[in-house]
Amino acid sequence: MYLLEHDAKALLAQHTIATPDGVMVENAHDIAGMQLPAGPWVVKGQITAGGRGKAGIIRKAQTREAAAEAAGAILGATVKGREVRAVRIEQQVRGAEEAYIALLLDAAEGAVRVIMSASGGMEIEAVPHDEIRSAVVPLAVDAIVKCMQELSAAWPGAKGRALREAGERLAHVFVEREAMLVEINPLFVRADGSWVAGDAKLVTDDNALPRQPEIKALLERRAAAYPEAAIKLEHGFDYVVVDPEGEIGLLTTGAGLSMMLIDELRQQGLKPYNFLDVRTGGMRGDPGRLVSVLKWMTEGKRIRVLLINIFAGITDLGEFSRLLVTALRDVRDLDVPVVARLVGNGLPEARPILEKGGVHLYTDLDAAVAEVRQILGRERGVAR
Amino acid sequence: MMNPRIDRATRVIVQGITGRAGRLHSRLMKEYGTNIVGGISPKMEMQEVNGMPLFPSCEAAVRATGATACVALVGAMQLLAAMREAVAAGIRYIVTPTEGMPVHDAVQALHLVRSAGVTWIGGSTPGMAVPGVAKLGFLPNDALLPGPLGLMSKSGTLSYESGYRLAQQGVGQSVWVGVGGDPVKGTRYADLIPFYAQDAQTEGLLIIGEIGGHEEEDFAAALTAQRFSKPVFALIAGSSAPEGVTMGHAGALVHGSHGSYASKRTALEAAGARVYATLDDMVRGVCGVLKKK
């Protein structure tokens, strides 16, 4: 789970990593009567993606009015397909130099890569190679701390000391919070040697949530900010709205096949609404999962057809079809034609059940997609 | 060299055999031809499952049966402990279909198997198969057909769909390995290049990848470095996935340019692989090269 900057900073602060004073705001009108840290400020849109500066959702403000105006402009904007629902209003750090520090999981090595640079503030890819120090170390606090001490020795004075101190603390964050990535860029370093994390990027492991109660609590408290992880935690499967304007609701199982179907629909100029890996194996005779998904889809106001794609290696399609027809009957609000493409186990049994339930059944995926296109009144489109 | 091949002599035990998945899949594997010689049940409330004897520990099972391979069908939070037990008992080949192993646990598991010289396939893998011979895990029989294509995949379902469509065209598989969708894993695509290079049955190699991480890029670099000479085909899912969102698999997360579709496609094409944008194109491409006239 890619944490919002505001949440990442709150977590870093618990590990005594200094961050500029800041507050989270969801409504620009609240700013007038709010207690803010001392100005001037930076107003920063909170989304789980990088490149926020380029996207125009990080703005400086000298006055409270300017901060409210910036927040008003940023809130509600859509960046990288995500709506900005909150801003962090943060005290500006001035008169400081910028450095860079990151730890990330090296998946191939099964180890941690530590990256440091005395230049920060830009994408690390843009920093000249000879200004970067990097090493791969075992996933253990002691080993990472030792590495931080060695790498930071490349820079004398305040910068080296700041990188070492921040690095030692980040070692604990990485191991104790079971992170996959933690990055501070820029790390502001003042002439007097004090330092503060200007930005914070933290990606944690959803699989570790059962033994990370604090991150789990954060997710439960602010489920709206992390809809995908919250659904996974509560329901045990994956659902992602990929295009709120989408016209095709997808009821699919399997992460790879679901992603591929979305890709192929888009290449044809069609607009899928969601990604879904419903995990039919976890349904265990209960239509609950399907009912939940269909209800969520009623939020997609432009959905005009439901496309089902299940490759049943193990799943029994007869049972799946019974549950599907029950769920479709339960969720009356999603009143759209249903096209299903099913292959595998129990297909002969599924056929009459679906026919009676008004579902158009195909065994060939391309034929099912062709019908979807016809329902939407689209000729085969061109790739974007 | 890592060798994923198994045969009907390979003796296999199943950890977690008394659970729902354990009962079902131990039976299906056995019916396919896998030589399942027993299961592990610490509580020993029964003597057997589907005619397969139970043992209280891996150590006891290995001692009694001479098993060298195991399939772990235990919960995600118990998986590391189960793997430690298997390795300590002398198991040389472990397949872990369980989804949701914490990544930091996977790091410990990787060190464990590497230092012991054990082959680990997983986690979050549908398993592996030598079609017509035996399988470890739950690759669906409908998609399995003996043939010339080496197949590696992060995704289960997308590989089923691909294997199934190719099998319908008469192109089957030599050895099918689901490397799995986790970021830290026992076997990565690149690890198996030497095996597929020397495997006589394999005439071409299909990798089914997805966004996130840089496993496809590493694979592409290794193809070039090792001068792999058989045709390579690739299908990569997730070209339209939003940034910063985990798409089902823990490994399928794009942040910045890291793990992007474009990066993978470029690397694979530079290494001479044929990269396809749709399933249909992939099937046509593979058949064009490997289908016997």
Per-residue pLDDT of chain B (293 residues; tens, 9 = 90+): 899 999 999 999 999 999 989 999 999 999 999 999 999 999 888 899 999 999 999 999 999 999 999 999 999 999 999 999 999 999 999 999 999 999 999 999 999 999 999 999 999 999 999 999 999 999 999 999 999 999 999 999 999 999 999 999 999 999 999 999 999 999 999 999 999 999 999 999 999 999 988 999 999 999 999 999 999 999 999 998 877 777 767 666 666 666 889 999 999 999 999 999 999 999 999 999 998 76
User: What SS3 state is found at B92?
Assistant: coil
Residue A345 pLDDT level (bands cut at 50, 70, 90): confident
Identify the residue whose tokens are 């037990």: B85
Q: What global pTM score does this model have?
A: 0.93
Domains and CATH numbers, chain B: 12-122 (3.40.50.720), 140-290 (3.40.50.261)
pLDDT tens for each residue of A225-260 = 998 899 989 998 999 999 999 999 999 999 999 999
**Which amino acid, B220?**
A
Mean pLDDT score, A135-139: 97
Contact A257/B140, CB-based, under 8 Å? Answer: no
- CA proximity to B95, closest of B33, B4, B209, B184: B4
What is residue A384's predicted lDDT score, i.e. its pLDDT?
35
The alpha-carbon gap from A197 to the nearest alpha carbon of chain B, in Å, equals: 20
Nearest-angstrom CA–CA distance, A185 and A102 = 8
Identify the residue whose tokens are 């996933």: A139
Nearest-angstrom CA–CA distance, B27 and B25 = 5
User: Residue B93 is encoded by which pair of tokens?
Assistant: 């080949």
User: Residue B186 is encoded by which pair of tokens?
Assistant: 């026992």
Contact A81/B242, CB-based, under 8 Å? Answer: yes
What is residue A354's predicted lDDT score, i.e. its pLDDT?
96
pLDDT tens for each residue of B223-275 = 999 999 999 999 999 998 877 777 767 666 666 666 889 999 999 999 999 99
Active site residue B111: no
What is residue A277's predicted lDDT score, i.e. its pLDDT?
93
Using the predicted structure, report yes or no on whether residue A27 has a pLDDT greater than 90: yes
Contact (CB, 8 A) for A267 and B248: no
Give Cα A328 to chain centroid, integer Å: 29
User: Residue A370 is encoded by which pair of tokens?
Assistant: 């062709």
Contact (CB, 8 A) for B110 and B186: yes
What is residue A127's predicted lDDT score, i.e. its pLDDT?
79
User: What SS3 state is found at A76?
Assistant: coil
Task: Give, to the nearest 10 degrees, the angle between helix B157-168 and helix A255-267.
Answer: 70
What is residue B257's predicted lDDT score, i.e. its pLDDT?
62
Contact B241/A257, CB-based, under 8 Å? Answer: no
Nearest-angstrom CA–CA distance, A146 and A166 = 13
User: What SS3 state is found at B44?
Assistant: coil
Contact A256/B210, CB-based, under 8 Å? Answer: yes
Contacts with B3 (C-beta within 8 Å, 6 or more apart), sequence order: B119, B195
DSSP state of B13: E
Contact B241/A275, CB-based, under 8 Å? Answer: yes
Range with the lowest mean pLDDT among A24-33, A119-128, B17-26?
A: A119-128
Of B185 and A384, the structure prediction assigns the larger pLDDT to B185
What is residue A383's predicted lDDT score, i.e. its pLDDT?
40
Nearest to A105 among B100, B103, B188 (CB): B103
Nearest-angstrom CA–CA distance, B242 and A311 = 24
Q: What is the mean pLDDT of chain A?
A: 93
Using the predicted structure, report yes or no on whether residue A382 has a pLDDT greater than 50: no
What is residue A281's predicted lDDT score, i.e. its pLDDT?
79
Of B114 and A381, the structure prediction assigns the larger pLDDT to B114
Nearest to B103 among A178, A210, A256 (CB): A178
Contacts with A298 (C-beta within 8 Å, 6 or more apart), sequence order: A331, A333, A334
pLDDT tens for each residue of B192-207 = 999 999 999 999 999 9
A32 touches chain B (CB under 8 A): no
pLDDT tens for each residue of A41-75 = 999 999 988 889 989 999 999 999 999 999 999 99
Using the predicted structure, report yes or no on whether residue A159 has a pLDDT greater than 60: yes
The Cα-based distances of B103 to A81, A127, A215, A235, B153 in angstroms read 28, 29, 15, 21, 19
For residue A180, list chain B residues with Cβ-Cβ distance below 8 A: 103, 183
The Cα-based distances of B208 to A52, A361, B163, B223, B275 in angstroms read 32, 27, 10, 15, 10
Q: Answer positive or negative: Cα dihedral of A46, A50, A55, A58.
A: positive
Nearest to B161 among A181, A206, A257 (CB): A257
Please tell me which residue of chain A has the smallest CA distance to B144.
A313
For residue A344, list chain B residues with Cβ-Cβ distance below 8 A: 140, 142
For residue B26, list chain A residues with Cβ-Cβ distance below 8 A: none
pLDDT tens for each residue of A288-340 = 999 999 999 999 999 999 999 999 877 889 999 999 999 999 999 999 999 99
Domains and CATH numbers, chain A: 21-91 (3.30.1490.20), 97-204 (3.30.470.20), 236-375 (3.40.50.261)
Contact A313/B143, CB-based, under 8 Å? Answer: yes
Nearest-angstrom CA–CA distance, A277 and A261 = 12
What is residue A380's predicted lDDT score, i.e. its pLDDT?
56
The alpha-carbon gap from B112 to the nearest alpha carbon of chain A, in Å, equals: 11
The Cα-based distances of B222 to B217, B229, B271 in angstroms read 9, 12, 9
